[in-house]
Structure 1
Amino acid sequence: MQTNEVDITDLSHDGRGVARIDGKTVFVAGALPGERVRIKLTKRSRHFDEAKVEELLTRSPDRIEPRCVHFGTCSGCSLQHLPPAAQIAAKQRVLAENFERIGKVAPERWLDPLTDEPWGYRRKGRLSVKWVAKKDKALVGFREDNPRFVADLSICHTLLPEVGERLTALGELVGSLEAKREIAQIEIAAGDETVALTFRNLQPLSQSDRDALVVFGQTHSLAILLQPGGPDSVTPLWPDEVPLSFRIPDYDIDIAFRPLDFIQVNAGMNRRMIARALELLDPQPTETVLDLFCGLGNFTLPMARRAGAVVGVEGEAALVARSRENAARNRIGNVEFFAADLAADTHDTPWARRRFDKLLLDPPRSGAAAVLEYLPRKETARVVYVSCHPGSLARDAGILVERHGFRLTAAGVMDMFPHTAHVESIALFER
């Protein structure tokens, strides 16, 4: 496709530079605002084009050298060429623009961004695996920008070092197996004491393959599990039991989980996020708090240390069962958990009819619009919303302000995924 020289005027929500050619928007991977670049168009569509940098003609003063040699090929990170402070500023601009454009609201004050260690933070993730006969090797890593291909990675600086520094060894391991074509992915899950790798094996493994996996686990102090079918098929290979848990020290809580359970990717940021959420919500011993999309009780159990009573609701029944186990594990008796599809109308369920002084929302990317059809009720004075998608937060903020009579008192970003374009944020709404 053709090449052009363009000026980069903005940064898109996914971390690409924005330019215009004859009035048409072009998204340029690897370019930064203020730069002039020679680009090669890679994809055309009706409303915008896509391109990559062929030559950097004028360099942004913000540009730094990416730490990872795979930057630009692997899709795992898109912002390593920006320093962390500039990444945070870009994410806050995305959040502010979404509030203005979608929700037609603006926070009364901006919270200081929450940040933590920017490298080696990722304790949960899924590595793609592919045997490539032409290369006579197994690739283990994240997808390339073209999702049809697995990036040929030797290292990942955002993963925990126990895994990120062993991608070559993992590829060699898979390549040595008789079932090298039958390993589809490797799920990473790390607790405070144990790092576990779950191999998705599409066919039963021979004894020699099982032995090779055990030796690898023992050599590198990694727990090894197999997943021959659905999530319930996960079984330990070595050791016989794989206990996974993480502590939330400020609230004397230890949360146990299973390898495929959802947990927050960044342990340090998770502790900071919980502290901020409780600071904003300010639960009191006389109050009852509702925690929707509660998962394993990541917010519910710390809130129960402060509030009079807490109710947690989650859509996945298995997570609800484990959240109850975690409440018992931590000897917390003032909390109840319920399973409910929060994308459906649950306004007439017993838990939804109760009175709640405060509400915490931590929905998936799709947001909480269905719940906001009937909650919060008038007696709920404060809402804290933890978001993994600025567009759905902005939409729901508009609903809370316009339909439910709240003020958007405060909002800010949280850098849960440094060096990526993911925008995690938190917002406080008050009557």
Structure 2
Amino acid sequence: MNPSAPKTNPIATVESLDHEGHGVARYEGKTIFIDGGLPFETITFSSYRKKPSFENAQAITIHNDSFMRVKPKCPHFGVCGGCSMQHMEFGAQVAAKQRILEDNLRRIGKVSAESMLPAIYGQAWGYRSRGRLSARYVAKKEQVLVGFHERRSGFIADMRECHVLPKSMSDQLLPLRELISALSIVNDMPQIELAVGENVTVLVFRVMTDINDADLALFKAYADRWQVQIWLQPKGPDSAYPLYPLDAPALTYSLPEFGIEMPFKPTEFTQVNYAINRVMVARAMSLLDPQPGEIIADMFCGLGNFTLPIARSGAKVLGMEGSKQLVERALEGAIHNQLDHLTSYEIANLFEMTEEWLDKLGRFDKMLIDPPRDGAMALCQSISIEHGPKRIVYVSCSPATLARDADILVNVKGYTLKNAGVINMFPHTAHVESIAWFEKE
């Protein structure tokens, strides 16, 4: 073999997808995770990260297209890190996420559901009503960039359109560049948070220094032109305040099936996909089946996305949440919807829950758990085998931590996993939301 001969890139056949949407192949005894690869495709790849047992690689040449492959709608796909699965047919994305959930339950949780729920999915484009865009003046390009970060990079993608944002926001990507370029704080404005409500759209500009009168005039003109409300955030999320116009309606989203309107601030957590959130809440209520007179716990309750629909049934609900700001907003939401007589809230670090602490709260007929990606291991470990709730509905944004906690609930606490299914809250990304119903027979 001639050592001076140029090396050719290796070729492998993709067998499956991993939980992040990468194609999984085998080559010379190693597992290769190939960005942009789909099952059944033979791909020439180039590795950018090598470990003893696996490599991360980029697809260079696809020799045969999978039946799942489609042309990405966005011209920035592959560079922008906002989406990772636009090259995969929409229905196949949902099916792949369902398989990931089933695999995690079996492999990590050592459990299987008695039945799998039909996947929840909705519109494929323009669904993202919340977003955080980075902004930066790039001297080499002599322009401001506004958008999501590039894949595997700290650089901001040179975005001119975004099809997962509402069109009204996608259309503002270039005008936002022009606005920031004209500001005196062009080098001290690193982020824009957007929140699209039912009656108003808010743009929160993270400002590192004070604005001047000329900046204020530019912000006002932009708000009038694009019919948005401008907020400024000088420090942490709690410091955000409205700049102009001051008479704009409050941000809200609604759950019409339950007659609920939810007020929120633009920097507070809400689900990004309002249409899917409505279906998700309806399914959670169907599984939980709250009844008048029952006492139900809503753990990691946030601003009351599930608490208030539970209360609408006539059940009494205790909502527990670690964020003081969200608990305050939950209290306001309960009063706004005239459900404060059926709801109570506590600020609590549920990641440090103990069995003694949970026992002091009293007995619950049922429980809804909606944790962040870290899951609810301490809470699940604290549930009493003898006195725990007869039914638990668990809404998850991480199949791995759901499976880990399902192992505790089923194999330690004696619950049965009745059913589970995915919620495609984030189309064209590998993010998997899911819901599961546990029952104490």
Conservation of the 8 A alpha-carbon contact between 2:23 and 2:33? yes
Counterparts of 1:17-36 in structure 2, within 5 Å, are 17-36=23-42
Aligned: 1:234 with 2:244: no
- Flag structure 1 segments of 5+ consecutive residues without an equivalent: none
- Contact kept in structure 1, 2:294 and 2:315, CA below 8 Å: yes
Which residue of 2 is the match for residue 141 of structure 1? 147
Give the structure 1 partner of residue 257 of structure 2. Answer: 250
Q: Secondary structure at the match of 1:99?
A: helix
- SS of 1:391 mapped into structure 2: helix
> Following TM superposition, by how much is the alpha carbon of 1:379 offset from its aligned partner in structure 2, in angstroms?
4.7
Match of 1:430 in 2: 439
In 2, distance between residues paired with 1:235 and 1:311?
30
User: Contact (CA 8 Å) 1:289, 1:307: kept in 2 or not?
Assistant: no
Deviations 1:262-309 (A, max 9, x none): 001100000000000000000111311100000000000010011421
Matched, 1:153 2:148: no
Q: Partner of 1:166 in structure 2?
A: 172
Post-superposition offset of 1:368: 0.4
Give the aligned partner of residue 374 of structure 2: 366
Q: Which of 198, 201, 206 is residue 192 of structure 1 equivalent to?
A: 198
Aligned to 2:302: 295
Which amino acid letter does the alignment assign opposite residue 437 of structure 2? L
1:81 to 72, 77, 87: 87
Conserved? CA contact 1:20–1:26, under 8 Å: yes
User: How many Å separate the matches in 2 of 1:197 and 1:246?
Assistant: 16
| 1:57-76 to 2 correspondences below 5 Å | 57-76=63-82
Any residues of structure 2 matched to 1:258-337 within 5 Å, and which? 258-332=265-339, 333-337=341-345
Q: SS at the partner of 1:58?
A: coil
Q: Which moved more, 1:79-88 or 1:2-11?
A: 2-11
1:412 aligns with 2:421: yes
Deviation of the 1:349 alpha carbon = 4.7
TM-superposition CA deviations, 1:160-211 (whole Å, max 9, x none):
2221222111122212222111111101112111111100011111221222
Q: Give the aligned partner of residue 123 of structure 1.
A: 129
Q: State the shift of 1:376 in Å.
A: 5.3
- Return the alpha-carbon distance in structure 2 between the equivalents of residues 39 and 374 of structure 1: 47
1:178 to 2:178 alignment: no
Deviation, structure 1 residue 2? 5.9
Task: Report the Cα distance in structure 2 between the residues aligned to 1:298 and 1:5, rounded to whole angstroms.
Answer: 48
Give the drift of 1:8. Answer: 1.1
Kindly state the Cα deviation for residue 147 of structure 1 after the two structures are TM-superposed: 2.9
Q: Distance in 2 between matches of 1:69 and 1:351?
A: 55
Question: Does the 8 Å CA contact 1:340/1:346 hold for their aligned counterparts?
Answer: no
Q: How far off is 1:131 after superposition?
A: 1.0
| 1:338 equivalent in structure 2 | 346
Unaligned runs of 5+ residues in structure 2 are 1-6
2:69/2:88 contact within 8 Å kept: yes
Cα distance in structure 1, aligned partners of 2:437 and 2:153: 37
**Partner SS, residue 9 of structure 1:** strand
Overall identity of the aligned pairs, in %: 44
Farther off after superposition, 406-415 or 366-375: 366-375
User: Contact (CA 8 Å) 2:358, 2:382: kept in 1 or not?
Assistant: no
CA contact (8 A) 2:355 2:384 kept: no
TM-score (norm 1): 0.97
Secondary structure of residue in 2 paired with 1:10: strand
The aligned residue for residue 4 of structure 2 is none
Q: Is the 8 A contact 2:192 2:205 kept in 1?
A: yes
* Distance of 2:117 and 2:398 partners within structure 1: 17
Output the TM-score relative to the length of structure 2: 0.95
| Amino acid aligned to 1:257 | F
Q: 1:356 aligns with which of 359, 364, 367?
A: 364
State the Cα deviation string for residues 295-346 of structure 1 (Å, max 9, x = none). 0000000100114211110000111111011101111121111110111135
CA distance in 2, matches of 1:421, 1:350: 34
Question: Which secondary structure state, in structure 2, belongs to the residue aligned with residue 394 of structure 1?
Answer: helix
Distance 1:294 1:324, change over 3 A: same
Give SS of 1:380's match: coil
Relative to structure 1, is the Cα distance of residues 77 and 299 closer, same or farther in structure 2, using a 3 angstrom cutoff? same
Q: Following the alignment from structure 2 to structure 1, what is the Cα–Cα distance between the partners of residues 326 and 59?
A: 44
One of 387, 397, 404 as aligned partner of 2:396: 387
Assess if the C-alpha contact under 8 Å between 1:415 and 1:423 holds in 2.
yes
Q: 1:210 to 1:351 in 2, by over 3 A?
A: farther
Backbone CA RMSD of aligned residues: 1.5
How far, CA to CA, are the matches of 1:46 and 1:147 in structure 2?
Answer: 24
DSSP 3-state at the match of 1:100:
helix
Query: Quick one: distance in 1 between partners of 2:22 and 2:158?
Result: 22
- Please, which moves more after superposition, 340-349 or 358-367? 340-349
Following the alignment from structure 1 to structure 2, what is the Cα–Cα distance between the partners of residues 137 and 45? 38
Contact 1:288 1:307 in 2 (8 A): no
- SS of residue paired to 1:413: strand
